[in-house]
Amino acid sequence: MMNFNKVALTIALALSVAACGSDNDGDSVQAPVVEPPVQEKPDYIDVAVSPQAPMDGTVQVRLGAYQDNITSWLHENPGIGDPDKGNGKTSIKNAADAGVVNQNWPEGHAFNVEIADVDRVLRENPDGLGAGSYRPDIFIEGRYSVFDVLRYLAVTRDDLELTIVKDHNESGLGTPLYTVSWDQNGDGQFDADEVDNENWHFRLFAMGDEFTRAISNSQGFHAGGELNYMRMDEMWANPNTRYNLQPFSEYMTARRHWVQKTQVERQKERGFVLQQFEADSPVIDQNATELAPDGRTQKITVKLHDVPVTANNHRPDIFQPGVITGMDIFVAAGKESEAQGYGDFSYTFWNVLHTGAEVGNYAVTQFLGIRNKGLRGWLTYYVEGEDYQTAAETNRDVFFEPSCNWNANGEPVAADSSDKIPKEACFEEWSGTFGGTLIHIMSDIAVHNYLPENAVVRYGNQYASWNPDIESRQYDADYTSVTETLQYDYSVAKDGSDVRTLRAFKAADVTSGSNAPLLNEAHFGWNIADCTLCHNEEKQPLGHGGHNWPTPYADGFDNTQPAYCASCHGTNGAPVGHGELDTCFWCHDGDLEGKQHGEASLKHQVTGDDIRANDLDRYGNIPNYQGYPSDALGNYKKYESVTTSGNSNYHLGQTFPDPFSCLSCHPND
């Protein structure tokens, strides 16, 4: 057992520098403008919610750099896949067939940390870094950062020691400089190369619950998580994310520090004014009969400059007033784009999704007057660089075959420069698809007290990446109407033998001029969604007024659809929609599930060969992103059982088909 001096604080250096006197004001910048706390729903938020993330929970922690055998093997064996199954690109299925495996973490290097334990220990200030969080200026009482988790481990474990070299407001980086000593092999002594190691940082790994296709190495996810340049003391320790605390190379540390220093220096000069915002719209069909809101038919790029950013305090359950988040950046840009006539912007709130992923965050759902539609929608980026598409910038640091166009100090250099870091080091840490400034963190919990150079929203199409059976909403001309139809094959074999037409019906109201009675509160079934619970052949065999029950027969259905009933009798008290246009089942599941919505309210298990996402033969993906399911370490692992409702990306119900039935009875106001 080691007798460590836990968390030695090297503050003498900082004190001596301060005592000498200097006109250097450290990392201090002007305070951001703080808007009043959000009390009522702003116009740009579609749903009225008051987020309250649980104060407790479990954080998954991994210690040490992970040896990703599969990623290395994929690089060493390119192009051995079947050309008929993914264009010949090597996949994790090929790795599994070759016996290549990512092993479990070493014993003692993978464990869970209870936030309640972190709170209990750190509120006593055992390391002299403050009672509670190291950053009480960022986090409310009881909330902690990833750096606080590292503090906790250093206090409670005998194999870790943390030393602060410079405080966050003296480092010039906006985050502390520190070293970590580690007894990696558990022999009671710090490893020789892990004594006062200044290269420790973290990777993050977002949890997707059942959606394991999104975490495989073929998708570019390193088994250890996403390398990043975030400030550890600003990153909220979110129970829905796994954190890998590890030593990196000196090259990764230099690159991260270059990004952070660049942001601090720019902030001193510019204050809380975003240098550039960029929005890329989708391509709109030239043959559309209607134009988009601003009259365009082609893809456009909007660039705004010098956008003031204020703190809107959207997450008072986590952050102190005045903390700038990514959401604040995009709200500022959205308001400015609206003011310049580029159309509305808005946010929605994702709670627990149908995959079981516990999100609990605001999400961009509209920019330039164009709304998300299922797997088509707005993606957000934070970039150090003026042009996120073509120029060298931090959004492109991580690639399957990375270039690493920077020197040993992390500074950008030409692609053919002899000063570039070694190729081996480049591949070891930057190989993948996500990382650098391109990481999976929702904008309302991404702290940006030092603004990026460029914030970007881009309308992307992930149907091309995941290729589900159903793409219910194509681009329509004005991006808000619901006039298009879908020809959908209900046959199990998907052989075209049972194609029917799905459409949204216009619900009747007082302006419709219909002779049919409009339902009101006097209706004994008021607010009950499924008309067929009472109006069916068993209870009323003569049907509707002594005739057959009305069905959308012309569309191929012989069953009653409540949305069809609404076209004559109104919505029966159904609440209006909140702006969404597709895949309602994503969120209206679990606690938000619609009651009495026929098959849409039922759950069933899909097993074996019926899980189409297991089968690349009939489930082709774009070649660069073969979405095979995997375990948490990136090993190929087929789905055994998947929970789904009557509506999904692979099947639509016949009584309440999503989104057509939803938008008929819950039209967007």
Residue 243 has pLDDT above 50, yes or no: yes
Work out the pLDDT band at 1, boundaries 50, 70, 90: very low
| Mean pLDDT across 489-500 | 88
Contacts of 20 (CB under 8 A, 6+ apart): none
Work out the pLDDT band at 206, boundaries 50, 70, 90: confident
Q: Are 128 and 155 in contact (CB under 8 A)?
A: no
Residue 84 has pLDDT above 80, yes or no: no
What is the per-residue pLDDT across 538-573, written as a single tens digit (0 to 9) for each? 888 777 877 778 889 999 999 999 999 999 999 999
Using alpha carbons, select from 43, 54, 579 the residue that is nearest to residue 360: 54
Q: What's residue 544's pLDDT? A: 82
Residues in the chain: 669
Work out the pLDDT band at 213, boundaries 50, 70, 90: low
Q: 596 or 309: which carries more pLDDT confidence?
A: 309
CA distances from 425 to 43, 143, 248, 327, 631 (A): 48, 35, 10, 34, 27
Q: What's residue 88's pLDDT? A: 58
What is the per-residue pLDDT across 570-591, written as a single tens digit (0 to 9) for each? 999 999 988 888 888 888 876 6
| Mean pLDDT across 30-57 | 79
Rounded Cα distance between 555 and 657, Å, is 13
What is the per-residue pLDDT across 453-475, written as a single tens digit (0 to 9) for each? 999 999 887 776 666 666 554 44
Residue 352 has pLDDT above 80, yes or no: no
pTM of the model: 0.86
Residue 106 has pLDDT above 80, yes or no: yes
Q: 399 or 615: which carries more pLDDT confidence?
A: 399
Which class for 471: exposed (0-12), middle (13-18), buried (19 or more C-beta within 10 A)? middle
Q: Are 191 and 169 in contact (CB under 8 A)?
A: no
Rounded Cα distance between 155 and 125, Å, is 10
> 648 — phi, psi (to 5°)?
-155, -175
**Which pair of structure tokens corresponds to residue 593?**
């599930």
Q: 155 or 369: which carries more pLDDT confidence?
A: 155
| Mean pLDDT across 172-188 | 96
Q: Are 178 and 245 in contact (CB under 8 A)?
A: no
| Mean pLDDT across 427-437 | 87
- What is the DSSP secondary-structure string of 495-550? SSSSEEEE-PPPPP-TTS--SSPPP-TTSTTTT-S-GGGTSSTTT-TT-BTTBPPP
CA 550, 554, 559, 563 dihedral sign is negative
Task: Specify which of 41-45, 170-174, 521-525 reaches the highest per-range mean pLDDT.
Answer: 170-174
Mean residue pLDDT across the chain: 84
Q: What's residue 2's pLDDT? A: 39
User: E strand or H helix at 274, and its extent?
Assistant: strand 273-280
Q: What's residue 215's pLDDT? A: 62
Q: 84 or 67: which carries more pLDDT confidence?
A: 67
